[in-house]
Chain A
Amino acid sequence: MDVKTEVVEILNTIIGEDISDQMDDDFFESGLLDSMATVELLLDLETKFDIQAPVSEFDRNDWNTPNKVIAKVESLMG
């Protein structure tokens, strides 16, 4: 599986619905993701991709859509 599919899968599990048709929607604005779910996301990404994603790396303007999360993960994987 590629990064994109895996990130979408993680997001789907955490949010509890399919988000693959809203890849550029702000999930903080829509209320789909809260701080709690954000931490789950960071932990899942850490385990799945073996990246370091500390809480202060997490900027709500850079991580607010599925596509942006994918881009972030790819950049953190180097």
Chain B
Amino acid sequence: MLNLQPYADPKYFIILLLALLPLAIGLYFGKRFAWYEVIVSVVFIFLMFDGHKYHEGFALIGYMIWQWLLVWAYTIYRKKANNSWVFYGATVLAIVPLALVKIAPAAHWTHVTTLLGFMGISYLTFRSVAMIMETRDGTIKAFNPWLFLRFMLFLPTISSGPIDRYRRFVKDIESVPAREKYLDMLGKAVHFFFLGFLYKFVLSYIFGTLLLPRVEHMAMLSAHANGGWSWWLIGVMYAYGFDLFFDFAGYSLFAVATGYVMGIEVPMNFNLPFLSKNLKEFWNRWHMTLSFWFRDFVFMRLVFMMMKNKWFKSRITTSNVAYIANMLLMGFWHGLTWYYIAYGLFHGVGLVVNDAWLRYKKKHHVPHNKFTEAFAIVLTFHVVMISFLLFSGFLDTLWFHHHH
């Protein structure tokens, strides 16, 4: 049976672009063929979850019914009342399926994974939770079942983002870009596709497929004699870090490019993250739609709540607590393993230290020139790379599951 995983091989791109051609022609002539777009999306989503992945397909359908009912019911409720506990309840219910799927591997609930898990569950959850929060704030005022489905199941971004926002998405999908603008988007799409090919099929292949297994093997061999440490670990760190970036940034470029072909300005996910001068800037450039989601729906709301209820006297304490909580939650979201949680904590503490440094810099005279900037970039890059080594789980294999 034909099964097509998004952006996996050249065949996918050819079939996808052929299927999208009528849509693109329509957009060029100022028409958006909504029905055609829906049919193409349904067919491609079916092809993602058919064959041996059928159980994921059923999980997706069940999940969508759950979220659909939840957001719909909450919107109806919100028009009449605004009790905080109902809001918390709705948010928790929206997160429950994802939480179960994330807990399942650690708790060895294989049946839960089979029943509820499907590729992309995280990214759909980010979208629906954001909708509930914005409905509470009153910035989303109505539930449109049709737009809800098109937003949640938007084909280019269904499996791994970028995470769009409902109001932004609706603005695009309910209109047609002017011809000049659409041609500009198509030009960008071509550029993004080719850059994505370079990232994912050349650079990520070099770092992830060619280099990484070799350095990992060498690190394993030398660890035996050196109590778990060796210079090869540095090689693993660079190979893994670059692979992670080029693989995910490449994928994200494909998703954005496909969105552009469909006349939707899907937000970018990466903006030269390795040129960041500090950790805060890094999180404004790395997996941006995720970190902005956490910024807007976790960090800022947490700070808002803590300040409004005056939990802490000092604003510094408030922001430090929020940084750690925010990044820890991101760590937990990646999965319940010590290294994901440690990765979250690492970045939480990193942001606290970073902020203390920025405050110090504001008060005292710190020399600033090309060399200090270059030093800051190299330092930030290495802090990030160390965190990726932690994130990779290789240390776990090396130290705790490596039997000689």
User: Which A residues are closer than 8 A to B by beta carbons?
Assistant: 16, 34-36, 38-40, 42-43, 52, 54-58
B217 close to chain A: CB less than 8 A: no
Using a Cβ–Cβ cut-off of 8 Å, how many residues does chain B contribute to the interface with A?
20
| Interface assignment of B299: CB less than 8 Å from any CB of chain A | yes
Whether, in the assembled complex, B137 has its beta carbon less than 8 Å from a beta carbon of chain A, the answer is yes
A39 close to B307 (CB less than 8 A) = yes
Give min CB distance, A39 to chain B, whole Å: 4
Residue B296 lies at the interface, judged by CB distance under 8 Å to chain A: yes
Are A36 and B322 neighbours in the complex by a CB distance under 8 Å?
A: yes
Residues of A within 8 A of B318 (CB): 36
Q: Are A39 and B304 in contact (CB under 8 A)?
A: yes
A-B contact count (CB 8 A): 39
B325 contacts the other chain (CB 8 A): no
Within B307-362, which residues are at the interface with A (CB < 8 Å)?
307-308, 315, 318-319, 322, 362
Q: How far is the CA of A43 from the CA of B315 in the complex (A)?
A: 13
- Residues of chain A contacted by B307 (CB below 8 angstroms): 39-40, 43
Q: Known: A40-B315, A54-B139. Is A35-B134 also a contact (CB below 8 A)? A: no
- Majority SS at the chain A contact face: helix
Chain B residues with CB under 8 Å of A58's CB are 300
Q: By the criterion CB–CB under 8 Å, are A35 and B299 in contact?
A: yes
* CB of B287 closer than 8 Å to a CB of A: no
Binding site for A on B (CB under 8 A): 133-134, 137-139, 280, 295-296, 299-301, 303-304, 307-308, 315, 318-319, 322, 362
Contact status B315-A55, CB under 8 Å: no
Q: Which of B280, B304, B319 touches A55 (beta carbons < 8 Å)?
A: B304
Q: How long is the Cα–Cα vector from A57 to B280 in the complex, in angstroms?
A: 23
Q: With a CB–CB cut-off of 8 A, which chain A residues contact B295?
A: 35
Contact A34/B280 with A39-B304, A39-B307, A57-B137 known, Cβ cut-off 8 Å:
yes
Besides A39-B304, A40-B307, A54-B137, 6 new A-B residue pairs in contact (Cβ under 8 A), listed by A number: A34-B280, A35-B303, A39-B303, A52-B138, A55-B304, A58-B300
B contact residues around A56 at 8 Å (CB): 133-134, 137, 139, 296
* Residue of A with least CB distance to B135: A56
Q: How far is the CA of A76 from the CA of B249 in the complex (A)?
A: 39
A38 to B304, CA, bound (A): 10
What are 25 of the A-B contact pairs (CB < 8 Å)?
A: A16-B362, A35-B295, A35-B299, A35-B303, A36-B315, A36-B318, A36-B322, A38-B300, A39-B303, A39-B304, A40-B307, A40-B315, A42-B304, A43-B304, A43-B307, A43-B308, A54-B137, A55-B137, A55-B296, A55-B301, A55-B304, A56-B133, A56-B137, A56-B139, A58-B300
CA distance A71 to B300 in the complex (A): 22
Contacts of A34 in B (CB 8 A): 280
A38 surroundings in chain B (CB, below 8 A): 300
Once the chains are docked, how many angstroms separate the CA of A54 from the CA of B337?
35
Contacts of A36 in B (CB 8 A): 303, 315, 318-319, 322
Chain A residues positioned under 8 Å from B300 (CB to CB):
35, 38-39, 55, 58
B137 / chain A contacts, CB cutoff of 8 Å:
54-57
Instruction: List residues of chain A with CB within 8 A of the CB of B301.
Output: 55
6 tightest Cβ-Cβ pairs between the two chains A and B: A54-B137, A56-B137, A39-B303, A36-B319, A56-B134, A56-B139
